[in-house]
């Protein structure tokens, strides 16, 4: 019985913290209802079990909300589902990177790639960007230390990107053969 009481109190505290983020996020057109916030927290609890992780204190949810709420790829329609997926991705890659990277470093890395390289594509963020970086971390890379997670992924990006030169060469191949 005591455990249930403590658990309920912790949940209420976390729920209040998540709802309080509305004060900041409403300037970006994003708000969470009590039910949506509870859904996010329920998913977090489930994901912590799946990833076999334990969180103390406030946890990562409010940090994720603050980090991503001003992204042009998040609107009220996809807000809840995006926060839920970002939590899942966060916990997965904390494990994949053997907890070598701090929460803030991982969040900054995720946000930078989400906006600048993935253009809001969570699957690409998870299966390409973070997977490549996690491989580097597991292989012993520690050059990210002191960068707070910014500007790191480009060192490991092996995907060829569209550029003017590449675009022009492709057009030449198609039309001037």
pLDDT, residue 126, reads: 93
Same domain flag for 80 and 111: no
Torsion of CA 94, 86, 163, 161, to 10 degrees: 50
Residue 76: how many other CB atoms lie within 10 Å? 12
Same domain flag for 12 and 85: yes
Same domain flag for 125 and 47: no
Record the pTM. 0.80
Q: Where are the alpha helices (DSSP H) in the chain?
A: 2-20, 22-25, 34-50, 61-68, 79-96, 103-116, 122-124, 130-138, 164-175
Tokens of 81: 């589902």
| Residue-by-residue pLDDT tens, the chain, 177 positions | 445 655 555 666 788 888 999 999 999 999 999 999 999 998 988 887 887 877 766 789 999 999 999 999 999 999 999 999 999 999 999 989 988 899 999 999 999 999 988 899 999 999 988 998 898 888 888 877 777 666 666 666 555 555 556 666 776 777 765
Tokens of 166: 């590449």
Task: Let me know: does 158 contact 132? Beta carbons within 8 Å.
Answer: yes
Pick from 51, 66, 96: which residue ends a domain? 96
Q: Is the dihedral of CA 65, 67, 68, 72 positive or negative?
A: positive
Same domain flag for 117 and 161: yes
Same domain flag for 45 and 68: yes
pLDDT, residue 1, reads: 43
pLDDT, residue 35, reads: 95
Separation in Å, CA 107 to CA 61, 111, 114, 145: 11, 6, 10, 14
Tokens of 33: 């209802």
Nearest to 90 by CA among 139, 154, 134, 56: 134
Same domain flag for 60 and 115: no
Task: Let me know: does 76 contact 50? Beta carbons within 8 Å.
Answer: no
């Amino acid at each position: 019985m005591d455990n249930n009481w403590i658990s309920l109190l912790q949940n209420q505290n976390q729920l209040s913290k998540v709802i309080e983020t509305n004060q900041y996020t409403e300037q970006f057109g994003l708000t969470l209802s009590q039910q949506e916030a509870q859904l996010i927290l329920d998913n977090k609890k489930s994901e912590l079990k799946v990833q076999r992780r334990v969180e103390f204190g406030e946890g990562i949810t409010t940090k994720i909300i603050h980090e991503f709420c001003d992204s042009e790829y998040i609107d009220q329609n996809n807000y809840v589902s995006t926060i839920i997926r970002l939590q899942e991705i966060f916990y997965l890659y904390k494990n994949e990177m053997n907890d070598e990277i701090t929460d803030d470093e991982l969040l900054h890395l995720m946000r930078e790639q989400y906006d600048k390289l993935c253009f809001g594509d969570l699957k690409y963020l998870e299966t390409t960007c973070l997977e490549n970086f996690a491989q580097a971390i597991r292989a012993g890379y520690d050059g990210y230390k002191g960068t707070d997670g910014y500007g790191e992924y480009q060192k490991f990006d092996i995907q060829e990107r569209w550029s003017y030169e590449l675009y022009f060469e492709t057009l030449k191949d198609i039309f001037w053969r």
